[in-house]
Amino acid sequence: MSTYLPSPPPQPEREPDISVVIAVYNAMPYLTECLDSVVGQSLGVDRIEVIAVDDGSTDGSGAELDRYAARYPQVRVVHQANSGGPSRPRNRALDLARGRYVYVVDADDLLGPETLERLMRMADTQGSDVVLGRLVGLGRTVSDKAHKHAEVADLYTSEVYRALHSAKLIRRRILERERIRYPEDLWFGEDQLFVTEAYLAAGKISVVGDYDCYYLRRREDGQNITQRSRTAHETVEHIERVMAMVAGRVQDPVGRRRMLGRHFRALLAKALRPAAWARRDYPEFSAEVFRRGRLLCDAYWSPEMASELTQLDSIRLYCFLGGAMDAFEVLAGYDPAKNPPELVADGGRLYKAFPGFRDPAAGLPDELFDVTDTVKAQHHLRSVGWKESLVRLTGHAYLESYGAGPEPSELVLRERATGRELTVPVTPRPTPELAEEGTRRGVDLGTAGFRVDVELSAVDGGGPIGPGVWDCFLTVRADAVARTVRLGRAHAADLDKTARRSRVVARDAASGTELAVSPFFTANYDNLSFEVVRRFTLPTG
């Protein structure tokens, strides 16, 4: 007797976790490496779908896609006539996507083996709508600042907005809810509008910064789409549109300033400076880029955005807006990495002598070149020693990028409660051990050493130091430029920071009291301070 067992009902097809979107146009031989990196993900190919849209390739890319689709059922290929850019094929793939997340990959780039697993783990754990993964440049520069590992990265106060490349894991629900797609009338800068919209729609942004997720390639054949020549309209249009989006939708003043500042950096680097280089040979191109650049500045620039630019870019923009076009053209072509600016000390101020500094023809104010308040004082505390009521401190100190000058530095003792200060002169000491470092930095560190003897029984030409907590600072001088730094945090590895016994520095026989000083290093920052107390004289013997 046979038993009839009915067939089980068909199971619904499992929704993929991630839809990998790839727009393909003449990407061989890089396409093969890209596809291998996608289907070989540690997440497992069964948990992803690959939607590759061949945008009219003529180099065999379409056949290569079909070969992978025949081998992997998770790979879906769509062939279409060439559209002239990546936006239309990406949008077609996004319309077909079924995954919880989407991840856009350029056909000439590749992924680290664990990329999708790590990105999805972060998104699922944190409930993130957008997750960035650390980029690695293959012949291209990438932003390290944008990819600092973070479970939560605020769009306005972190550096994630530096990264507007499409390679981000994005929750598909927010793309559908807001109908976010690539602008199909742009082939350059289209990813900036798409990613900015995704950022603004995201409830939470995270960063996987502890793994090399995405390898961004500059093609040896020069066929990256971003390497095409562009018209003036194509050069500026995407910047105009993304600035308008930010200005219209971001009300937070910090966020608006920082996000628009990012695009002013791009305006200078990708539009205005290239237009200055082309000014002689292509005057119509340059004139149109300059005209539209000025309109953007009129619409969105405000003085507080200067903090979002480098000092050199601030000077460039000052020249551009002030009509000093000859100076702007010189500064546009200037590369400080190849020709570092000289530091000029004058009147207690320090200036970076970029091109145009004190050039009568340029007429630029000195304030644009002033770096006094940004120069840091580097220091190193070598030893703390006592002889009765005298404490001796040794180490070295100098101004970063400038070195050590002949002017004497000084120790400053500042009473924490009142702000009262006592000063003690510093004796310069030769530091031959810093000669190699000085050569590497291009500064004179020959007399960066210091020794300071503090007689606590008679400080600053007066009586003994008074009761209270006195914090130690070092004022470092070079050519009349002075910077003050808290002393102690940078110290020798063998410096004894443990609690030291108090030392009596003065006695008052009339009251039967004494002043006792205890040096200590602060708990949070490791800085040197002295606690001074008046107490009844302790019996001896």
List the chain pLDDT tens, one digit each, 541 residues.
444 545 555 555 678 999 999 999 999 999 999 999 999 999 999 999 999 999 999 999 999 999 999 999 999 999 999 999 999 999 999 999 999 999 999 999 999 999 999 999 999 999 999 999 999 999 888 888 999 999 999 999 999 999 999 999 999 999 999 999 999 999 999 999 999 999 999 999 999 999 999 999 987 654 544 455 789 999 999 999 999 999 999 999 999 999 999 999 999 999 999 999 998 899 999 999 999 999 999 999 999 999 999 999 999 999 999 999 999 999 999 999 999 999 888 888 889 999 999 999 999 999 999 998 888 888 999 999 989 889 999 999 988 877 777 777 899 999 999 999 999 999 888 888 887 887 887 788 888 889 999 999 988 677 899 999 999 999 998 877 888 999 999 999 998 877 677 889 898 888 889 999 999 999 888 999 999 999 998 776 5
Q: Would you report the helix, strand and coil content of the chain in percent, each value rounded to 5?
A: 35, 30, 40
Strands 48-55 and 75-80: parallel
The domain that contains 434 carries what CATH number? 2.60.40
- Contact in structure between 187 and 225 (CB atoms under 8 Å): yes
Of 352, 374, 396, the residue at which a domain comes to its end is 374
Q: What DSSP element (H or E) covers 260?
A: helix 253-266
Range(s) of the domain holding residue 136: 18-225
CB–CB of 138/217 below 8 Å? Answer: yes
Residues 321 and 347 in one domain: yes
Range list of H helices, 308-414: 311-322, 325-332
Report the C-alpha gap between 18 and 120 in whole angstroms: 8
For residue 401, being part of any structural domain is answered with yes
Q: Identify which of 477, 474, 348, 347 has the alpha carbon closest to the alpha carbon of residue 407.
A: 477
Measured CA to CA in angstroms, residue 267 lies from 41, 167, 263, 293, 307 at distances of: 37, 22, 6, 7, 16
User: Are residues 519 and 413 in contact, defined by beta-carbon separation less than 8 angstroms?
Assistant: no
Same domain, 214 and 65: yes
Does one domain contain both 391 and 369?
A: no
Residue 331's DSSP bridge partners are: none
Domain boundary among 164, 194, 225: 225
Instruction: Output the pLDDT for position 233.
Output: 95
In a domain, 154, yes or no: yes
DSSP state of 179: T
Distance from C-alpha of 446 to C-alpha of 431, rounded to nearest angstrom: 5
With respect to residue 496, please indicate whether it lies within any of the assigned structural domains.
Answer: yes
Residue 9 contacts residue 82 (beta carbons within 8 Å): no
The number of angstroms, rounded, from the C-alpha of 29 to the middle of its chain's C-alpha atoms is 34
Domain count, the chain: 3
CB-based burial label for 469 (10 Å; 0-12, 13-18, 19+): middle
Same domain, 361 and 389: no
CA–CA distance, 467 with 534 (Å, rounded to integer): 6
pLDDT of 8: 56
CA atoms within 13 A on the CB side of 203: 9
Q: Is the dihedral of CA 264, 268, 271, 276 positive or negative?
A: positive
103, 87: one domain: yes
Specify whether 57 is located in the same domain as 164.
yes
**Cβ neighbour number for residue 339 with a 10 Å cutoff:** 10
Task: Give the gyration radius of the chain's Cα atoms.
Answer: 32
Whole-number Å distance between alpha carbons of 273 and 277: 6
| CATH number of domain containing 76 | 3.90.550.10
Cα–Cα distances (Å) from 352 to 157, 215, 307, 344, 371, in that order, read 29, 36, 17, 6, 7
217/244 same-domain check: no
Instruction: Report the predicted TM-score, pTM, of the whole model to 2 decimal places.
Output: 0.81
DSSP class of residue 432 equals G
Give yes or no: residues 412 and 332 share one domain.
no
Instruction: Evaluate whether 20 touches 38 at the Cβ level (below 8 Å).
Output: yes
Q: Tell me what pLDDT residue 541 has.
A: 55
Structure token pair of residue 22 = 């790839």
Report whether 277 contacts 316 (CB < 8 A).
no
Instruction: Specify the pairing of strand 48-55 against strand 18-24.
Output: parallel
In terms of DSSP bridges, do strands 48-55 and 427-429 run parallel, antiparallel, or are they unpaired? Answer: unpaired
Please indicate, yes or no, whether residues 37 and 174 belong to a single structural domain of this protein: yes
* 398 class by beta-carbon count within 10 Å (0-12 exposed, 13-18 middle, 19+ buried): buried
Same domain, 69 and 122: yes
Last-in-domain residue among 193, 225, 257 = 225
**Coil, helix or strand at residue 252:** coil
Examine the domain organization and report whether 486 and 517 are in the same domain.
yes
Residues 166 and 54 both lie in one domain: yes
Coil vs helix vs strand at 405: coil
Q: Phi-psi bin for 476: left (phi > 0), alpha (psi -120 to 50), beta? A: beta
Please name every residue paired with 392 in a beta bridge, in sequence order, or none if there are none: 385, 453
Could you tell me the strand order of the sheet in which 168-171 lies? 75-80, 48-55, 18-24, 101-106, 168-171, 130-138, 205-217, 110-111
- Give me the pLDDT at residue 70, please: 97
